[in-house]
Structures are given as structure tokens and as C-alpha cells.
Structure 1
Amino acid sequence: MDQAQLIDRLLFNYYFDKPVSRTTTVTAAKSKPHSKMFAMFRQFYVFLENTNVVFLAALVLFSLTIGMSLLYLMISWMETRQEIKGYIDQVVNYCQKSPDECDSHTVQQEMKKKQEE
């Protein structure tokens, strides 16, 4: 019994408490939701077994690149959010100090003056 058959037998017995055969695996995959997970794991295991290390290393590096890009986007989004919040706080403070002059045109002019300074 090779390693793949042993894993088949162990996983299938864990989920279904009956012996493994190719026909029961296919039949069970059509009827029970856990067997779909088993079939997906089996396909992934066969994929790993048949690929070389260079491809797996490239896959890991690609995944890390995507992860770091998403992390960078999240951090920049949070910084932008903080800038917008700061701008809104400035507008609110200005409007609280002088409620008579609190229209959008006046507020924009005041914010431009503060940015130029």
C-alpha cells in the first residue's frame, strides 16, 4: 500500500467508518458534503505529490507577494481614512468656532489658507 492509498484509507475511515475504494469515494462525494472536502483534500495531496519544489516555492512567493500587497493597501487605506477624519475634525472645529460663517465655500477657503501656511 503506497502513501496515497494509506491517506485515502485513513481519511475515508475517519469521515465514514467504512473501507476505501474508488467507487465508494466517487459515490460518497456525490451524496455527502464531507466527502467533497475529502475529495478536495485528495486532489490537493496528489497535486503536491506530483509538483516539484521550485513550483511550490514560486507559489509560496506569489502568495506572499499578494499578501504583502493587500497589507500595504489596507495600511494606506487606514492612513487615508485618518487624513479624511482629520479634515472633517478641522471643519467641525471651524464651524463650532464661527457658526455664522459655516457654509461650504467659506470652509473651503479657510482650509486652503491653513494648507498654504
Structure 2
Amino acid sequence: MVKGFCGWILSLVALALIMSRANGSLCGDAVNALIPCGSFLVGAGPPTPSNECCTSAQKLTKLAQTTATRRALCQCLKDNGPSFGVKPQRAKQLPTLCKFSLSIPISPTVNCNM
């Protein structure tokens, strides 16, 4: 019984490590997709995002395919936005201005687990 339990715990730890790495990569992919939107998101550029920004930002919809990835993306954007100086209102406008649907709430106060 102890052997089976230890194997189960080790499997769980391995799965957690894999998910942690996957979420880190996912976050990196999301941040990279938003690099062309940098000047728009921080308010240093024009009041509308560039075509390059929109094309790149649309990659977020491909990343947000499951509940787990949507939660991870939500947390990634919530955690990283302020460190890059992203203006929340600009981030919230991006899907509408770029004409794509993102099933992730964009807000610095969102609970990403809901």
C-alpha cells in the first residue's frame, strides 16, 4: 500500500512540474505575442493598435483553448501587465479594436480561478 501511495505522490509531483513548465512556456508565448502591441498597451503609441499588433495578439485566442490554459493566461497577463506598465483600459480594449474574441477577462483585479 505504501509503495502504491508513494508512486501516486511521485506521479502527482511530476505532473505538477510538467504543468508548471507548460504554464511558464504558455506565459512566455502570450507575452511574446503582445510585444508588437507594447506602445499601444502602455499608452505611448496611437489610440488604436497597429495591424501587426492585432495579427500577433490574435495568437492569444489559439493559446486559450482549455479552462486550464485560460486560467494560466489570465494569471500571466494579470501578473505581468503591471510590470510592463500596461494600462488596464488599453488592454481591455485590445480584443475589440483588433476584432477578436478572447475568453479571458482582462482586469488587474480579476480572480483568474473563477
Tell me which interval the TM-score lies in, with the shorter structure as reference length.
0.3 to 0.5
TM-score (norm 1): 0.38
TM-score (norm 2): 0.39
Greater RCO between the two (CA within 8 Å, min separation 6)?
2
Higher helix share: 1
Q: Which has the larger radius of gyration?
A: 1
